Amino acid sequence: MDADDSPTKKKGQPGLFSAALSGLCPRCGAKTLFAAPARLADECAGCGLDFLGLERGGRFVGVVMMLLALALIMAALGVDEWLRPPPWASLLFWGPVTAGAVIFGLRFYKAMWVYHQYEERAE
């Protein structure tokens, strides 16, 4: 999966997928979007773009997280039913997978929201 091949990609902007993955600023493309793995920086250290101002109104994070948790639980139950792994194996596998999915889900969602807000304001 490579977002850069997408025909809807706008010129001069990084693909959303890679932007979320490496936390790129929507204005200057510097890797300044995230201060922590799943927390937005206050503003861009490169160009001063106000990330917190853009993030305001991103109030669906809770819903996104609930859907993600639900999907993970369903997946965990499915794998349990299918492979019947010992409990310690389940914990060892689903612990990191859940943490990774939540962090990436948050990153992707926040990056998407900031990019969306940035584009709306640019128009």
User: Position of tokens 């991103």?
Assistant: 58
Confirm if 46 and 28 have CB atoms less than 8 A apart. Answer: yes
- Near Zn ion by CB under 5 A: residue from 6, 28, 67, 74: 28
* CA 112/CA 85 separation, integer angstroms: 36
- 92: contact with Zn ion by CB under 5 A: no
Confirm if 17 and 35 have CB atoms less than 8 A apart. Answer: no
Query: Binding string to Zn ion for residues 32 to 71, with x set by CB under 5 A, is what?
Result: ------------x-xx-x----------------------
Q: Which residue's CB is nearer to Zn ion, number 20 or number 25?
A: 25
* # residues contacting Zn ion (CB under 5 A): 7
Which residues are near Zn ion by CB under 5 A? Answer: 25, 27-28, 44, 46-47, 49
